[in-house]
Amino acid sequence: MVAKIITDKARIESLLRRRVAEVVVEASLRQKLASGRQLRVKLGVDPTAPDLHLGHAVALKKLREFQELGHQVVLIIGDYTTRVGDPTGKSKTRPMLSEADIEANAKTYLDQAAKILDLDKVEVRRNGEWFAKLNFNDIIQLAAKFTVARMIERDDFAKRLAAGSDIHLHELLYPMMQAYDSIMVEADVEIGGTDQRFNILAGRDLQRKLGKPEQDAMFLGPILVGIDGTNKMSKSLGNYIGVSETPEQMFGKTMSIPDAALWDYFNLTTDVPLEEVAEMKKACAAGKMNPRDAKARLAKEIIAFYHSADAAEAAEEAFIKTFKNKEVPDDIKVLAVDAGAYKLVDLLIEAMMVASKSEARRAIEQGGVKVDDKVVKDVNSEIAVQKEAIIIQKGKRHFVKLVLKNLWPKI
């Protein structure tokens, strides 16, 4: 069945503005969108990790907008480009993943992408389909379309050269490989973050050199910062909100976002009309609305999209009960132990509230750990577990109840 292409001017204008930092070339893309022709819209993803967060979801939500207008979304799983590793923004060479890890990550990626896209209407490709078939002469012919001078203009490569850091030959192939993906899927449009500018424009260059129509490039932005309000959202930095997290986790993390980042979050992660977002921003600036209430609205919008409206309401109620009213959550994690004295540092690790002893010590020294609602700052503290249950709290959202094994589940 041929998809109906929507050319409504208001819908096209929203497509070109929401979550968009720049379009190359906008006049060309406008003409294509108004033509009624179905466009092939490409996004390439490297499954370097198994989990997606809201930063990844920005591009998927833009794909969804194209999909709703009737265009063909082409999602390329970079099983071969992942072996090289995108050097964008990296100060050192990325480690190579095994084929098994890449495939496992790809499956998880698609399962989570289905929360945003109608995967039944997505053309999913793996770039191993074409790269596995190229011989060495093919690689030489393709590499001849690029120059070393152009490659080392990249900001990340220039910085590494200036610092005396290694740049391995295979890393120079990455933009070439991403560009060749556009040739193989006959992309009309490629989308990506502003940090993907070099790679995406390489696709336009290669298409032109091979006598093909040049894809238009849509750069999304601004880059979504993490819940720390400073750094790009990243699992390695622990400042992320995962698309598969529980409603309670999503709500608590969203409420910790700094006020300054709030409006970018509304723009990038929700579909709340921008006019309404502007009104909330104005009301907060005038003191007519508490930013905390705007964050609660943001949290519920996010949860409703990835879970349900009912889940969003329940998460808000749990948050109010736990943090505003200073109550311990009903579904608190339980750690059953034998009677005795335990180092607080060890208990935090055992309860999986921290990843290491150094992180546990740091949390304690900074006053981020409470035992039965009392702050403990002594890293050598021991907790005596006897008959009564003990509540340990780390930060605002993490609780564990210590109980005796012989009394659990009686307590």
Written as one string, the DSSP assignment of 296-350 is: HHHHHHHHHHHS-HHHHHHHHHHHIIIIIS-PPPTT-EEEEE-SEEEEHHHHHHH
Q: Which amino acid is at 143?
A: A
Mean pLDDT of the chain: 89
Domain 333-404 fold is 3.10.290
Which pLDDT score, from 0 to 100, does residue 165 have? 86
Cα–Cα separations (whole angstroms), residue 184 to 127, 150, 173, 204, 207: 9, 23, 16, 13, 10
The whole-angstrom separation of Cα 61 and Cα 117 is 8
Whether 253 and 227 have beta carbons less than 8 Å apart is answered as yes
Q: How confident is the model at residue 410 (pLDDT cuts 50, 70, 90)?
A: very low
Which pLDDT score, from 0 to 100, does residue 140 have? 95
Residue 187 sits at φ, ψ, to 5 deg, of -70, 135
Q: How confident is the model at residue 237 (pLDDT cuts 50, 70, 90)?
A: confident
Whether 193 and 220 have beta carbons less than 8 Å apart is answered as yes
Whether 401 and 335 have beta carbons less than 8 Å apart is answered as yes
Give the count of beta carbons closer than 10 Å to the beta carbon of residue 286: 8
The strands making up 390-394's β-sheet, listed across from edge to edge, are 333-337, 398-404, 390-394, 369-371, 374-375
The whole-angstrom separation of Cα 194 and Cα 214 is 19
Q: How confident is the model at residue 385 (pLDDT cuts 50, 70, 90)?
A: confident
Which pLDDT score, from 0 to 100, does residue 92 have? 58
CATH architecture of 9-220: 3-Layer(aba) Sandwich (3.40)
Q: Which amino acid is at 17?
A: R
- Mean pLDDT calculated for residue range 23-43: 97
Res 4 pLDDT > 80: yes
Considering the chain, what percentage of its residues have pLDDT values greater than 90? 59
Which pLDDT score, from 0 to 100, does residue 391 have? 86
Class of CATH domain 247-324: mainly alpha
Whether 15 and 220 have beta carbons less than 8 Å apart is answered as no
Q: Domains of the chain: which residue ranges? A: 9-220, 247-324, 333-404
The whole-angstrom separation of Cα 402 and Cα 56 is 37
The whole-angstrom separation of Cα 251 and Cα 238 is 16
What lies within 8 Å, CB to CB, of 237 at 6+ separation is 226, 228, 231
| Sign of the four-CA dihedral 307, 311, 313, 318 | negative
Q: For the whole model, what pTM was predicted?
A: 0.77
